[in-house]
Amino acid sequence: MAAVLESLLREEVSVAAAVRWIARSAQSSEDDPGEVAALSSLRPLRKEFVPFLLNFLREQSSRVLPQGPPTPAKAPGSSAALPGRPGGPPRGGRGARSQLFPPTESSSAAAAEAPSARGGRRRGPGPGRERGGRGPGGLEEGVGGESQPWAGGRRPRGSGSPGSPSLARCDPPNLSNLEEFPPVGSVPPGPAGTKPSRRINPTPVSEERSLSKPKTCFTSPPINCVPSSQPSVLDTSPWGHGLPPGCRSLQEEREMLRKERSKQLQQSPTPTCPTSESGSPLPSRTGNLTAEPADPARVSSRQRLELIALIYSSCIAENLVPNLFLELFFVLQLLTARRMVTTKDSDLEPTPGAPDSLESPLFQSVHDCVFFAVQVLEHQFQVLSYLDKGTLKLLAENERLLCFSPALQGRLRAAYEGSVAKVSLAMPPSAQAVSFQPETDNRANFSSDRAFHTFKKQRDVFFEVLREWEDRHEEPGWDFEKGLGSRIRAMMGQLSAACSHSHFVRLFQKQLLQMCQSPGGPGGTVLGEAPDVLSMLGADKLGRLRRLQERLVAPQSSGGPCPPPTFPGCQGFFRDFILSASSFQFNQHLMDSLSLKIRELNSLALPQPEPSDEDGESDVDWQGERRQFAMVLLSLRLLAKFLGFVAFLPYRGPEPPPTRELQDSILALRSQVPPALDVRALLQQGLRARRAVLTVPWLVEFLSLADHIVPLLDYYRSVFTVLLHLHRSLVLSKESEGEMCFLNKLLLLAVLGWLFQIPTVPEDLFFLEEGQLDALEVDTVASDHGLDGMPVVDQHLLYTCCPYIGELRKLLASWVSGSSGRSGGFVRKITPTTTTTGLGAQPPRATQGLQAQLAQAFFHNQPPSLRRTVEFVAERIGSNCVKHIKATLVADLVRQAESLLQEQLLTQGQDGGDPAQLLEILCSQLCPHGAQALTRGREFCQKKSPGAIRALLPEETPAAVLSSAENIAVGLATEKACAWLSANITALIRREVKAAVSRTLRAQGPEAAARGERRGCSRACEHHAPLPSHLISEIKDVLSLAVGPRDPEEGVSPDHLEQLLGQLGQTLQCRQFLCPPAEQHLAKCSVDLASLLVADHIPVLGPPAPRGLERGQARRLLHVLLSLWKDDFQVPVPLQLLLSPRNVGLLADTRPREWDLLLFLLRELVEKGLMGRTEIEACLGSLRDAQWPKDFSEELATLFHLFLAEPHMPEPQLRACELVQTNRGTVVAQS
């Protein structure tokens, strides 16, 4: 590999040819025969070139990048993910930042480089640490790079053996990158059995480190080179053996070179420690790691750097690197390198102009790094120009960049000023609950009452758990499982019926989408949710404060440029819920539901291209189209992530299978399990329809949660192969007809690049699959105008989907904050946000008859908003039509059914016969009327659609267009409505009539009859009458006074009694606040009151001491009561209680007994028709059965005779016999 690079450096091979050579296996006619010859001998190494190059750069830079966030890289061949290496270092659980990358290993290869200074330092961390502390070491370090830019590793490398103290001292301490500073090319050429050990160096603590801005001070680990770490398994390639030794591996080459040089060096030893420690002073007071100024004049070997930058950039441009943004991150790290951690011998100054071998350090100073970085950035300007405004500003303001390439700075500045998009943080999720929808949530949707009520409770428990999580999940020490686990499982345990599971899953999924869809704005309509009323009210500005707060508390880092898949924010709740629920049924239902929703959204018809002439309108419309696309895309990603999570949950573990045998048996098992969702078919479909920009991002989310085995399964391997092919094909510089839009490509490159860095995706996958790529050609010509060709992705969406791109900005920002003396930026201008879009043509649709074709054609030349409007109106009017028919025609039929039923009941007696039979009779009479529905439906659509279209289309729409649109809308609406009605009207009528029948039959029951007709209060009533509750309470007080016990001074004034009865009259006449139970109690209390009056038991207040009422007063009050009973009460008054033994017994206590009031009352009752004579007789008769004192019995008998002596009025409607039987106070309706 090194040979290739060397031949490039020697200019034997042109860069273009080399890149062609790397990118394609076949030779191209453009290639120079000489170059071909030079490269053909190296052919077997072709695929190893890129990893080699990347590793080479990382390695070379490792001395420069001790600080700053890491540039992770996944090396192919780091065998941790592969079986067969029992000694391989364990990989931790998912989620940990460091586990993205192959753990560093010390191996025989590393041992082979032991003579190098770095090797020595690594092995001897002790001295390094000491020097890393605050003290002279720091100074010396600060100076070294500047004063002796050529202080390469030559001499110390040659000068010592491993562990030599002089070496350790020579190599200034690398303060912070120890842990992430991996050994060079960990792959041993020797036997695979060498036990690798993870080098763990304690992180040195120094003031510099602790105070430097980026707290995560890591550097870029190199990419390991060849996947030959497992020769027995993977090294089956034909070139794995029998190659010239020099080509065998980088390590061997390097080792040989080193040996040579160390021999030279040992002959001329120099002082091990640099003497130039007194150089420029460090601003150590601030504790900041001040950057060394970079000077273009001091770049060491321009030509070589330019060449490598060109090769590197070409590899990036051709997508030969796994992750575009990772490389950009790396380049920016080089740009912002603060100082060289360097050895400071000045021997072996390279001859300028003669690019020497690779062994001479590529970056000999910060100047070199910056030069290289700027070179690469120049090549990558196009990508840079699409970055967010903040990043562009930081780049354009970077003084190093200005210094090294004013031209690039100028372009960046122009790009910044031209940049219109701004990237804002996502809106805080709204914790609104999923609303109750009667159509899907009411009793009719459940198998039983029990299931319905269980679900009711579950909904509440779910939200209770959610609220508790919201309140507490940030508390230290709070644990989801401990806090909520048992409650969740108890709730899941109640979901017995399958139907309940689907209800719950629907709720769960809706809530998930509602809470976790990150971007804000009233875009929720895509998913059928009503737009937030808050934003309609304009109250959203009130939420700004909250958003600002959100922004302030938001974590500053998303975890490096390649964070592992995580469940941020509310997503964590849903993940933990699934885990805690640990319910197989729930997971299955959830997968079904997620899959369905994914399919549905994935195939959703999304924006059609717009004719490009109407730019003003299209602009407005495109905002909506983009927003809709973004909503769908983000929903899909969320759903797919959870689908991936649940689908691979049973297989996921922190580590891959330990042995090859085990892996094989797992593979055999897994390969027969059908995938949860046929993502391959969807991917192919998406590519064919040129909707990769929609399909791939969610597919990546899905795959990112796969377990270690998944990429090895044939099915998924083929998916990865397609993705790799796609990745390779997304060359950003290609801009031709039918190409994907730039930002679309960038999004795909970003997500794919991220996927290739996921721990579970084998490191070698990216570089190994190449062979198969050639064979695979995805047919994308089928459709020229899919989503891919439309500018559906904007910067906001790119950053929302790939927040890790923001790491670039953070890196640059940390440079700014770290570098001192900076004034404000150069730009203060705020550019209003607008978007301009390119437009394509419209895809032809499947033909559906001539009219459909015509309609299609009509829409073709109209703005898509017109089509959407028409479709929308048709959809709504059609649906409203059905509702209208339900409310009018069906409701009429139901009324007819009710009256028919009433007749039936009258003719056939109360029970009316068998309800099922009744229903059949009614339906056979009524269902034929359903035919009217179609006519009426047509009328409705005809009447309603044109108005809606007119209201929704612009005023200026030409008349012909308008009337066509109206006609199409009428047609579509009618079609929709009639299709539904003709299929369902009979069933609908049946259902409604059935409900009416059971309602009527229920209402026929005895209680209903007693309810009777109720009068309301009069029209003029102003509802000022006393409240019933107040009256009951007042009467109760009187009763309690009368019954006692009472204090001597307590009593009731006659006026108060009269007033009370007056109020009772008013209340009974108003009725506004009266409910039947209250009226019943009032009736009963009034009877009790009457009995107390009759028995003279009301203690009257006033001088002298309490006494009974005047006889006349009592009579007056009884009169009032009688008239209330007769005229005002609308409930039955239990008048027979007047003659109950208890009330009559009150008389027994009074002496002398006064019977005249009772007799008066009885006569009045009969007179007013309140009670029948026979009824009273029956009551009196039964009174005689009770146990009374003898004298009382006699008086009672006298009363009986007196009453009987009255003239008799016939009352045939009263069934005396019944009254006699039920002596327990039958409530008799007032006649």
- Residue ranges binding other proteins (CB under 8 A): 432-433, 435-436, 438, 441-444, 452-453, 455-456, 459-460, 462-464, 467, 533-534, 536-539, 542, 545, 1023, 1027-1029, 1032-1033, 1036-1037, 1039-1041, 1043-1045, 1047, 1072-1073, 1075, 1077-1078, 1081, 1084-1085, 1134, 1137, 1140-1143, 1145, 1149, 1186-1187, 1224-1225
Nearest to other proteins of 319, 1143 (CB atom):
1143
Q: Which of 570, 579, 339 is nearest to 482 (CA)?
A: 579
Two structure tokens written together for 731: 């060359």
To the nearest whole angstrom, how small is the minimum distance from the Cβ of residue 1167 to other proteins? 24
Handedness of CA 440, 445, 446, 449 (dihedral sign): positive
Nearest to other proteins of 533, 552 (CB atom):
533
Nearest to other proteins of 268, 435 (CB atom):
435
295 near 370, Cβ under 8 Å? no
Q: From CA 635, how far away is CA 797, in angstroms rounded?
A: 12
Strand partners, 1100: 1052, 1107
Nearest to other proteins of 213, 886 (CB atom):
886
To the nearest whole angstrom, how small is the minimum distance from the Cβ of residue 411 to other proteins? 45
Q: From CA 1216, how far away is CA 1195, in angstroms rounded?
A: 24
Nearest to other proteins of 790, 1032 (CB atom):
1032
Nearest to other proteins of 816, 1220 (CB atom):
1220
To the nearest whole angstrom, how small is the minimum distance from the Cβ of residue 1030 to other proteins? 9
To the nearest whole angstrom, how small is the minimum distance from the Cβ of residue 334 to other proteins? 48
Give start and end residues of each alpha helix (H) in 386-497: 389-396, 399-404, 406-418, 438-441, 449-472, 480, 486-494
To the nearest whole angstrom, how small is the minimum distance from the Cβ of residue 442 to other proteins? 2
To the nearest whole angstrom, how small is the minimum distance from the Cβ of residue 538 to other proteins? 6
Strand partners, 1052: 1100
To the nearest whole angstrom, how small is the minimum distance from the Cβ of residue 378 to other proteins? 50
Using the CB atoms, write b or e for 69-101: b if 16+ within 10 Å. Answer: bbbbbbbbbbbbbbbbbeebbebeebeebbbbb
**How far is C-alpha 763 from the chain's CA centre?**
30
Nearest to other proteins of 403, 534 (CB atom):
534
To the nearest whole angstrom, how small is the minimum distance from the Cβ of residue 1084 to other proteins? 7
Nearest to other proteins of 965, 1032 (CB atom):
1032
Query: Which residue type, as a one-letter code, is found at position 722?
Result: V
Secondary structure of residue 152 in the 3-state scheme: strand
Nearest to other proteins of 494, 557 (CB atom):
494
1112 near 1154, Cβ under 8 Å? no
To the nearest whole angstrom, how small is the minimum distance from the Cβ of residue 735 to other proteins? 47
Nearest to other proteins of 165, 1225 (CB atom):
1225
**Which stretch of DSSP H or E encloses residue 256?**
helix 250-267
To the nearest whole angstrom, how small is the minimum distance from the Cβ of residue 1111 to other proteins? 24
Handedness of CA 547, 553, 556, 562 (dihedral sign): negative
To the nearest whole angstrom, how small is the minimum distance from the Cβ of residue 498 to other proteins? 19
What is the SS3 string spanning 907-953? HHCCCCCCHHHHHHHHHHHHHHHHHHHHHHHHHHHHHHHHHHHHHHC
DSSP tag of 843: P
Two structure tokens written together for 881: 């039509």
Q: Which of 233, 223, 158, 137 is nearest to 185 (CA)?
A: 223
To the nearest whole angstrom, how small is the minimum distance from the Cβ of residue 594 to other proteins? 22
Measured CA to CA in angstroms, residue 974 lies from 580, 858, 925, 965 at distances of 49, 19, 27, 14
Q: From CA 220, how far away is CA 1076, in angstroms rounded?
A: 81
Q: From CA 299, how far away is CA 308, in angstroms rounded?
A: 14
Nearest to other proteins of 464, 661 (CB atom):
464
To the nearest whole angstrom, how small is the minimum distance from the Cβ of residue 524 to other proteins? 14
Nearest to other proteins of 49, 574 (CB atom):
574
Measured CA to CA in angstroms, residue 247 lies from 3, 5, 256, 1008 at distances of 7, 12, 12, 99
Measured CA to CA in angstroms, residue 881 lies from 488, 947, 953, 966, 975 at distances of 43, 14, 21, 16, 11
Nearest to other proteins of 637, 1071 (CB atom):
1071
Q: From CA 314, how far away is CA 306, in angstroms rounded?
A: 12
Nearest to other proteins of 143, 1176 (CB atom):
1176
To the nearest whole angstrom, how small is the minimum distance from the Cβ of residue 452 to other proteins? 7
Q: Which of 1038, 1049, 1027, 1203 is nearest to 1121 (CA)?
A: 1038
Q: From CA 1063, how far away is CA 895, in angstroms rounded?
A: 41
Nearest to other proteins of 246, 1225 (CB atom):
1225
CA atoms within 13 A on the CB side of 1052: 30
500 near 446, Cβ under 8 Å? yes
Nearest to other proteins of 279, 1141 (CB atom):
1141
Secondary structure of residue 3 in the 3-state scheme: helix
867 near 953, Cβ under 8 Å? no
To the nearest whole angstrom, how small is the minimum distance from the Cβ of residue 234 to other proteins? 55
To the nearest whole angstrom, how small is the minimum distance from the Cβ of residue 860 to other proteins? 39
Nearest to other proteins of 159, 1143 (CB atom):
1143
To the nearest whole angstrom, how small is the minimum distance from the Cβ of residue 545 to other proteins? 8
* 44 burial type by CB count under 10 A (0-12 exposed, 13-18 middle, 19+ buried): middle
Nearest to other proteins of 955, 1049 (CB atom):
1049
Query: Which residue type, as a one-letter code, is found at position 674?
Result: P
The 10 Å Cβ neighbour count of residue 897 is: 25
To the nearest whole angstrom, how small is the minimum distance from the Cβ of residue 529 to other proteins? 12
